[in-house]
Amino acid sequence: MKQNVLSNSIKIKTKEKEFLKSIFLVLSGVIFLSIMSQLIIPLYFTPVPISLGSLGIILIALLYGRKLGTATVLSYVAAGSLGAPIFAGFKAGSLFSPTGGYILGYIAATVILGFLSDKGIAKSYVKTFLSLLLVSVIILILGALVLMLFVPIKNVFMAGILPFIPGDMLKAVAATLLFPRLWKFIKKNKN
C-alpha cells in the first residue's frame, strides 16, 4: 500500500504499540490544537478572534489523515465542550456560541482534508493549495451560519468571513509550501 499520510511513516511492529502510538498522537494533537487556538488576535468589531486554530486543524489533517485527524479534532472539541479551557481565549463550553460554527467547521474540515490527505494530495503543491482553500471556505461558511444567531445577518460577512480571508490565505500558502517539501525530504531520506 502506498504511504500518503506522514504519521504512517512512524513504523510500529505490534498492534498494541500501534494503538499506543495512536493514543499518543491524538493526545499530542489535542495539546497542539489547544496551544494553536490560544494564539489569537482579538477583533473589536466581532466576537470571533483570528486564531491559529485553523492552521492547527490543517496541519493535523495533513499529518494524520482522516481517521486519526478526525479522532484528534473530535477529542479536542469534546474536551472543550466538557469544560477544558482549550478553545480560543482559554474558553470552554457550549458550541452554541459565536465561535461554535467555526469549531464545528474544524470537524468538517478535518474529515474532508484528512480524506484528501489519505489520497496523497499533500505531495502536490497545487492539490494542497486548492484543498486548503476548500476547507477554509467550509470553516468560514459553518462559522458564519452559527454567527448569524449572535450578530445581525447584515453584519455576518464583515464580522465572520471577510476579516479571516487574508489569514486563511497565508495559512494555506504556508502549509502548501511545507507539505510537498516534507514528502520530498522523507522520500529522499528513506532507508
- Tens digits of residue pLDDT in 34-82: 999 999 999 988 889 999 999 999 999 999 999 999 999 999 999 999 9
Range of the domain at 90: 6-184
| Residue 191, in any domain of the structure | no
Longest dimension (CA), the chain: 58
Q: Is the pLDDT of residue 171 over 90?
A: yes
Give the DSSP letter string of 113-148.
HHHHHHTTGGG-HHHHHHHHHHHHHHHHHHHHHHHT
| Residue 31, in any domain of the structure | yes
Q: Which amino acid is at 19?
A: F
Q: Is the pLDDT of residue 114 over 90?
A: yes
Q: Which of 9-13, 15-19, 54-58, 135-139 has the lowest mean pLDDT?
A: 9-13
Reported as a single tens digit per residue, the pLDDT across 92-105 is 988 999 999 999 99
| Residue 66, in any domain of the structure | yes
Reported as a single tens digit per residue, the pLDDT across 172-188 is 999 999 988 888 888 78
Strand partners, 40: 51
**Grid cell in block for residue 127:** 492539490
| Residue 189, in any domain of the structure | no
Using DSSP, state whether 50 is helix, strand or coil: strand
Q: Which amino acid is at 163?
A: P
φ, ψ (nearest 5 deg) of residue 87: -75, 170
**Grid cell in block for residue 114:** 484528512
Percent of the chain with pLDDT over 70: 98
| 113-115-34-19 Cα dihedral, nearest 10 degrees | -160
| Residue 168, in any domain of the structure | yes
Using a 10 angstrom Cβ sphere, with 0-12 exposed, 13-18 middle and 19 or more buried, the burial of residue 14 is exposed
Q: Which of 107, 53, 101 is nearest to 78 (CA)?
A: 107
* Average pLDDT of the segment spanning 133-159: 97
**Grid cell in block for residue 166:** 487574508
Domain count, the chain: 1
Q: Which of 40-54, 61-75, 107-121, 139-153 has the lowest mean pLDDT?
A: 40-54
Residue showing cell 478526525: 70
Using a 10 angstrom Cβ sphere, with 0-12 exposed, 13-18 middle and 19 or more buried, the burial of residue 96 is exposed
**Grid cell in block for residue 25:** 498522537
The CATH number assigned to the domain holding 103 equals 1.10.1760.20
Residue 12: pLDDT band with limits 50, 70, 90: confident
| Residue 190, in any domain of the structure | no
pLDDT at 191: 56
